[in-house]
Amino acid sequence: MAVVIAGCLAIAALSLLGPAAPTYDPWAWLNWGRQAAELDLVTDGGPSWKPLPVIFTTVFSLVGDDVAPYLWLWVARAGALLAVAMTFRVARRLADRGGPRVGSSVPGVVGGLAAVAALIASTRFVHDALRGNSEGLLVGLLLWAFERHQDGRRDHALYLAFAAALLRPEVWPFLGLYGLFLMLREPKLRLRVAILGVLVPALWFLPELWGSGDPLRASSRAATPNPNSPANADNPALEVVLRLSDAVVAPVRASAFVGGLIAAIAFLRRREERGTVMLTALGAGWLGLVASMTAAGYSGNTRYLIVPIAVTVVVAGVGVARTLQGAMVLGRRLPGGPRIAVAVAIALGLALSWPFADKKGADLLQVARDVRSEQRIWHDFGTLVELGGGAEAIRDCRGLYTAPFLTQLVSYELRVPSIRVGIRRTIPPAAILQGRTSDVAPRLPKPTDPRFQLVRAQGSWRLLTVPPEGPGRCPAAGGRAG
């Protein structure tokens, strides 16, 4: 694993030579990390709190505002690469530990590669990883914890699951059940289970109490869904299940069905394939939890389903391996032997998957264009701030307004709490920072108040102001200060 982690970090570092820019949530984590380091945390106005990213960004803030975003992107992308590596390792391991004995490692290797391809092709995995979201890191930690448990290192599994519990609250019930299991089966770990059991709620709720005065603000924020959220569907729970189905292509769903069915039969008959059944139960339990929470009013975004998606692709990899193992057994009775049967099975699988692969390849190219667009928007905003006299001068305009999904970028670059950046009414004196979340997204509509005048423009950004009365540095049209 030391080699795997070093490889993930190295490749992630190299990826930063290409397009690189954080998205909405990571900008908030960066802002909160800097505020925490300065002992002035304000979480109002941001997304839901996540302890683990802010632990990283608090440390990263010490090296400067310009470098910290790249350091977090490095960690997030390395976490996604860890998820890819662990997907291969777990799928191959489960494939090799069951099914007919064919005396070859080929089925396990092919199954692991198929699982990796399915994960990369799943909805939003690459998109979220490149833009600094934490879902890839979550999958990497949980699959690593699963592998450590399988190896008998339950202490390591506990620590990794604890780290995952600082990324998503859905981990809590599973960590609680695992902690109870360890309390009963591993007496030497009881103290560590108790300490980590206290730290999880402390790291989620106490910073929110400090930053907003409401320890449950993150829960309230998650219960405010976006317009396209499953929570707004006629049947939210069913919509969550349908979105999971849509997140992976049909061949992956079919392979997962094969892998899961064979594992269930083997477990019921001979108590074999326990690992595959255990992992499938984790994915099903997570899906049920997200569906129940969505039915209760939480947003249920597709990102929250990344763990069931990862479980699906791993079990699909097992299904591919079982199919190849069956082909090898059948091939013993046919001319040409097992190798011909395996070659035919792989060719058939590629032929069935090619139409989906072609579309997913186009999707990945679009993701690259989106990240390049976000990088350009970020850099153009930095230039706009410089042209406008600097962050302090724009802050002197008092009110600050921008587009909804740009509030965290604006608050980070201007060094203000995100609660200060409005998205609706533009009441002078104020500065309007008109920008786009992508090259094709609309800007804020032109303000109806005729007193707002264009001060500067850079790329897709426009700075319009109505300076306050009296002396000040708020930039105005024609280069005049307020």
**Predicted pLDDT of residue 234:** 82
Q: Where are the domains of the chain?
A: 2-331, 389-479
| Neighbouring residues of 437: CB distance < 8 A, sequence distance ≥ 6 | 374, 377, 403, 405, 406
The answer on pLDDT for 440 being more than 70 is no
- Residues 162-198, buried b or exposed e (16+ Cβ, 10 A)? bbbbbbbbbbbebbeebbeebeeeeeebeebbeebbe
Q: How confident is the model at residue 480 (pLDDT cuts 50, 70, 90)?
A: low
Give percent above pLDDT 90 in the chain: 67
Contact predicate 460/439, CB 8 Å: yes
The answer on pLDDT for 270 being more than 70 is yes
In angstroms, rounded to a whole number, what is the distance separating the alpha carbons of residues 131 and 297? 27
**Predicted pLDDT of residue 166:** 97
**DSSP H helical segments within 388-450, as ranges?**
391-395, 407-414
430 beta partners: 399, 466
| Neighbouring residues of 149: CB distance < 8 A, sequence distance ≥ 6 | 157
E strand or H helix that includes residue 402:
strand 399-402
The answer on pLDDT for 481 being more than 60 is no
Mean pLDDT over 412-428 rounds to 90
Contact predicate 443/458, CB 8 Å: no
* Mean pLDDT (the chain, rounded): 90
Angle at 378 between CA 377 and CA 383, to 5 degrees: 95
Q: How confident is the model at residue 327 (pLDDT cuts 50, 70, 90)?
A: confident
pLDDT one-digit tens code per residue, 243-266: 988 888 888 999 999 999 999 999
**Predicted pLDDT of residue 23:** 93
pLDDT one-digit tens code per residue, 331-388: 776 666 677 767 777 777 777 777 777 677 777 888 888 899 999 999 999 999 999 9
Which string of DSSP letters, residue by residue, matches 152-211? T-HHHHHHHHHHHHTT-TTHHHHHHHHHHHHHHH-GGGHHHHHHHHHHHHHHHHHHHHHH
Instruction: For residue 364, count CB atoms less than 10 angstroms from its CB and return exposed for 0-12, middle for 13-18, buried for 19 or more.
Output: middle
The answer on pLDDT for 96 being more than 80 is yes
Mean pLDDT over 194-223 rounds to 90
pTM above 0.85, yes or no: yes
Is the bond leading into 450 cis (omega within 30 degrees of zero)? no
Nearest CA to 412 out of 13, 102, 169, 68 is that of: 68
The answer on pLDDT for 479 being more than 70 is no
pLDDT one-digit tens code per residue, 16-64: 999 999 999 999 999 999 999 999 999 998 898 999 999 999 999 999 9
434 beta partners: 462
In angstroms, rounded to a whole number, what is the distance separating the alpha carbons of residues 251 and 345? 13
The answer on pLDDT for 482 being more than 70 is no
pLDDT one-digit tens code per residue, 142-192: 999 999 999 999 999 999 999 999 999 999 999 999 999 999 999 999 999
In angstroms, rounded to a whole number, what is the distance separating the alpha carbons of residues 248 and 398? 47
